[in-house]
Amino acid sequence: VRFERLMELLHAKMLEQSIEKYEGKTVEVLVDGTSTKDDNILAGKTKGGKLVNFTGNAKQGQIVNVKITKPTTFHLLGEMVE
């Protein structure tokens, strides 16, 4: 029970930090390919290694700008911008 509570607190803190750092901001993302869960969504990583799933049109290996629309605990959601 104590471990579960600790994990809940940790996830809440991580989400809070992710929202503060990324929400509404534009970040550079290296495109890895499509999302493992949806072929219509692209996936990539920030310079800091954070996973980003986003909409847009880009090829693997490109570096694109992505506006973060929804930070979550372990990844970011966004849309590609020019």
pLDDT averaged over the chain? 94
- Residue range 61-79: average pLDDT? 95
- Residue range 42-52: average pLDDT? 96
- Residue range 57-63: average pLDDT? 96
Asked if 79 and 55 touch (Cβ cutoff 8 Å), the reply is yes
What percentage of the chain exceeds 70 in pLDDT? 100
- What does the alpha-carbon distance between residue 16 and residue 44 come to, in Å, rounded to a whole number? 22
Query: Dihedral through CA 62, CA 64, CA 15, CA 34, nearest 10?
Result: -40
pLDDT value at 51 more than 90: yes
User: Which neighbouring-strand residues pair with 64?
Assistant: 29
Q: What is the pTM of this model?
A: 0.84
